[in-house]
Chains A and B, each alone.
Chain A
Amino acid sequence: MTAARTINFTLNGRAVSAEVKPHHNLIEVLQGQFALTGARESCGQGLCGCCTVLLDGKPVSGCLTLAVFVEGAEITTIENLGGSGDLDPVQQAFIEAGAFQCGYCTPGFILMTKTLLARQPQPSDDEIKDYLSGNLCRCAAYPEIVNAVKLAARKNKTG
């Protein structure tokens, strides 16, 4: 059972399958087999959030997720946001607030923001910081990121 096995799961709304070995993590499979590079392995320890993907709607660290563990699950990546040509309101808010610089950590922050607003549509500053405390930004765009979340929440409110 060190041999490759086929896993079947839903990726960004489509049923897919992949041949993986038990020691492969989800990020290398998403990048290597599906050309999805929005989730990136950086710290390799689940601390920076660059590898954030949604597993059954919940944010997880892709770099700490064995690919075999997503059998039967729904995986959503940053590439699933927005329609054709349109940006998701959270993505739009990040642009308006200037909430990124080099952009490497940005997809992770955006996915986390989406799940935060789904759980708590009008989060307080403290709630925003607590929820995003597990996402790091070396460019330190934190003040702008907090503004982006608040902007997105405001837009949700006014519709």
Chain B
Amino acid sequence: MTPFELIEPATLKDAIAAIDPDDPSVRPIAGGTALMLMMKAGVFQPRRLISLRKLDGIAGIAATPSGELTIGALTPLSMIEHSPEVARHSPVIPRIMVRLSNVRVRNVATIGGALAHGDPHMDLPPVAIALGARVHIVGSQGERELAVEDLLTGYYETALKPNELIASLHIPAQGKTRAAYFKVTAGAADDWPALGVAVAIEGDGEAIKSARVVVSAATPKATRLASVEKLLAGATIDDKTLKAAGDAAAKEAEILSDVRGSAAYKRELLRVYVGRAVRAAANGDER
């Protein structure tokens, strides 16, 4: 790796101030797993890294009595995985954590880092979108909130300005919403997914009141499928509905080819897995 400067600010304000908005070779580093990969591959050669690890008050999980969750951006994924609050209020999250990357990465990677990277293959962003989550962003110009689906703007691209940092993730109370996520791997069982499908449905039994349906990994970014959500709103879960939902998803999604599969094949996977994800959510399956 090429040598770089490392500074370790003590406050969020200092960290933001240290970022030079015109210099892409100056970046914040949290857990570092994603950034280290880029640096070792020579794809990213920083002049300066701003460590966020010494910042206070940006890690931790809090829940309101109604079940709203606030997760600090620097919270390691493993803390989220084992949190009783998260398990109680958003049980889909610990379920998917078990197959998210590996234990060593989860001990170090942070939720803020995961969201800020904009990697369409990651498991948490599509789930966060399905749950209606929002991020709280702090920057040199002030603070703002964004829905996670608006945070992710493209292939490894986010709406974050250069001198902005994610401070926390907010997951609204889920109430009786049922959620599921399918991580479809094409080769080895443990891999980046060829396709991710996250679904959250509001309703009772087989009757859907409304649904949030998110496709990821096969697409440039985690994306809600509006036509599928429209079709499912007020529908009953049966073979006919799910087939229509799958076809709508296959028609709407912008799919990319890569080593994990051709676009044509991934489109067919999406056609099948949308229905499976809706069924799994409805049944409260272990997904």
Contact = CB atoms under 8 A, between A and B. Distances in A.
Contacts of A66: 6, 32, 36
Nearest to B34: A64
A132 to B, nearest CB: 8
Given A46-B33, A61-B105, 8 more contacts: A22-B5, A47-B102, A58-B78, A58-B107, A59-B104, A115-B103, A133-B99, A134-B101
Interface string A51-71: 010010011110111101100
Contact of A2 (B3, B32, B39): B3
Interface string B4-19: 1111000000000000
Interface size class of A (residues with CB under 8 A): 20 to 34
What bracket does the count of chain B residues touching chain A fall in?
Answer: 20 to 34
Interface of B: 1-7, 32-33, 36-37, 39-40, 49, 51, 53, 78, 98-99, 101-105, 107-108, 189-190
Contact of A134 (B3, B39, B104): B104
A21 B3 contact: yes
27 contacts: A22-B6, A22-B49, A23-B2, A23-B39, A25-B36, A45-B40, A46-B36, A46-B37, A46-B105, A47-B102, A55-B107, A58-B78, A58-B107, A59-B103, A59-B107, A61-B104, A61-B108, A64-B33, A66-B32, A66-B36, A69-B32, A69-B53, A115-B103, A133-B102, A134-B101, A134-B103, A135-B102
A46 B104 CA distance: 8
Given A130-B99, A134-B190, A61 B33 contact: yes
Nearest to B82: A119
| Most chain B C-beta atoms within 10 Å of own C-beta, residue among A22, A45, A64 | A64
In the A-B complex, the 9 residue pairs with the closest CB atoms: A134-B102, A22-B6, A64-B36, A1-B5, A58-B107, A23-B1, A2-B3, A61-B104, A133-B190
Contacts of B4: 2, 22-23
